[in-house]
Amino acid sequence: MTGTEKKDDTLLVSHPPHIRSGESVPKIMWSVVIALTPAAAYSVYLFGHRAALLIGTAVVSAVVAEAAMRLLLRRQVTVLDGSAVITGLLLGMNVPPGAPWWTVAIGSFFAIIIVKQLFGGLGFNIFNPALAARAFLMASWPVHMTTSWHNFSETNVLSPAASNPGFPVAVYDSLTGATPLALLKAGPKILADHGIDPVRINDIAFSPDMFLSLFIGNRGGCVGETSVLLLLAGAVFLLARKVITWHVPVSFIGVAAALAAAHAALTGNPAPHLVALFHVLSGGLVLGAFFMATDMVTSPVSRKGMLLFGAGCGLIAFVIRTWGGYPEGVSYSILIMNAFVPLIDRYMKPKVFGASKRRRGAGA
């Protein structure tokens, strides 16, 4: 379909406009791939060949699934548009480095076949395919998905820079045996159980070394979520390329940080701003806010809607991180908000130029 007919054999006749911006779907998708590349490459440096194996398996599986499904459905094969590569890349970056390679292969198949193509392919899926697949893997192989962390030293999966601020060895080991977010969530209880003031969790969590490790990405966590620095570099590229706008990430991170700070203040933590900073830098918040919540297909179309969507993600992520069963809530928060997108789009329409207030209120 082109909507264009050729007459006189040489002249193109079509409806206006007769010029187009150079933007295209493949250019947008490959830009996202490029933006994710630094953080993905760094994960191989940090976690070794396991990261490469997981990312590679996920990408190849996603591309194969996409091509196979399009052939089966007798639709145009669209793997070159890059969207399946993004799905594979994001899934590979969102599993623990020690997860078996076949989990991501199954995840990619699930993402592409069930979540994307059976809903109609690119543009029609309701949920972010990579995140839906991650949720599927969490439900199916919870042990692989929540314990296969990378060990930097004997017991420390947290960060090579995490040093013992004078805790007994047993306490230190149990504190550093999990991801940064788990430290924040379970740490105070561990300390209390050993008769140590829970607020002393700040000693290990909020040292300058720890923050630097979190920012650079010298820490444990899912394959591609660790380096805030490189993720932000990719995000800046996407913002400059106008592939994403600031609305979703800023409201997402802003609300999550604000709630974390408020909660810390209310529960008597003397450094609520550091708690907020720790929340932002650890876990998958930066990866999720800039690269997954901004997925065009599964986020609102209006700026107002994007702000609301981001705020909802921030709220849910905070709630799960603080009171939920998992230390991390970013991917579930985005998935839940994905489901609200049609509703948000319906009520967050831009104001029609010159329309009276009454008409707008009537949903017109």
Contacting positions for other proteins (CB under 8 A): 1-4, 6-8, 10-25, 27-28, 78, 120-124, 245, 296-303, 306, 345, 349-356, 359, 363-364
- Of 14 and 267, nearer to other proteins (C-beta) is 14
User: Which of these, 198, 201, 205, 229, lies nearest to 215 by C-alpha position?
Assistant: 229
* Smallest gap from residue 250 Cβ to other proteins (A): 16
Chain centre distance of CA 148:
19
In the Cβ-directed half-sphere of 196, how many Cα atoms lie within 13 Å?
A: 20
- Of 159 and 298, nearer to other proteins (C-beta) is 298
- Of 144 and 304, nearer to other proteins (C-beta) is 304
* Smallest gap from residue 4 Cβ to other proteins (A): 4
* Smallest gap from residue 296 Cβ to other proteins (A): 4
* Smallest gap from residue 56 Cβ to other proteins (A): 26
- Of 4 and 169, nearer to other proteins (C-beta) is 4
* Smallest gap from residue 21 Cβ to other proteins (A): 5
* Smallest gap from residue 345 Cβ to other proteins (A): 8
- Of 178 and 243, nearer to other proteins (C-beta) is 243
- Of 24 and 153, nearer to other proteins (C-beta) is 24
Radius of gyration of the chain from Cα atoms?
Answer: 22
- Of 75 and 194, nearer to other proteins (C-beta) is 75
Taking a C-beta distance cutoff of 8 angstroms, is the pair 144, 151 a contact? no
